[in-house]
Structure formats: structure tokens, C-alpha cells
Amino acid sequence: MKRNAIVPYILIMVLGLGLIFFLGIKGIGDSKEIAKEQDGGTQEETVAFEPEEFANTTCITCHGENLEGAGAPSLHGTGLSEDEIADILVNGTDGGMPGGLVNPENVEEMAAWIAELK
């Protein structure tokens, strides 16, 4: 009993072409959603700014794990007003603090959070 060796290859080819066809149709159906994501997404996808989370991912590298000072001064009990802290966040300092680490729309919220640290 001899089998034809070409049959498995034809089945694989038909399966591959079928997948390409159906995935192409799916892509056409999703094209509007993909274009919307590339244009900036939706409001539902916007994540709220969390000052503590931002500090724990960005500020701890210089200010230490508890923000109590390491290579940079402690952020607890700075004695600075929210406006002074906001100015430092935007413009930086001569001592090495770079400006612009916090997005401009989040500066006030971050300054208020730092001012509240005791």
C-alpha cells in the first residue's frame, strides 16, 4: 500500500491559506479600532496620576527608598511651600535636581503630595 506524499503538503497549504484569509478579514474589521489607538486612544485608557507611585519609581533613585535622602536631600519636611516645590519640579536646581521630570499637568498634584510628607 503506497500513500501519496503530496497530500499532507496540500493540506498544510490549504490550512495556511485559510488562516491568512480569515486573519486578513479580522484585520479589516479591526482597522478602525487600530487607527483610533494610533491617534491617541480613548479617554477610558487614560491612567490617573499617582504621586506616590511616581515617587516610588522615579524619585527613589536619588532621594532614597523612603525619600529620606540618599544622594539628594530628604523630601520629608522640606519646609517649602507647594509653589516652591512646583518651581523646583519644573525648573530643577543648581544642586543637581533636573527639571521636567514630572509632566506639566501633574506638577501641582506632585508638589502638594511632597509638601504633605512629614
Half-sphere exposure of 40 (CA within 13 A, CB side): 1
Question: Binding site annotation covers 76?
Answer: no
Radius of gyration of the chain (CA): 28
The dihedral sign for the CA sequence 7, 8, 12, 13:
negative
Question: Binding site annotation covers 110?
Answer: no
Question: Binding site annotation covers 1?
Answer: no
Question: Binding site annotation covers 97?
Answer: yes
Binding site for heme c: what residues are annotated? Answer: 59, 62-63, 97
Binding site: what residues are annotated? Answer: 59, 62-63, 97
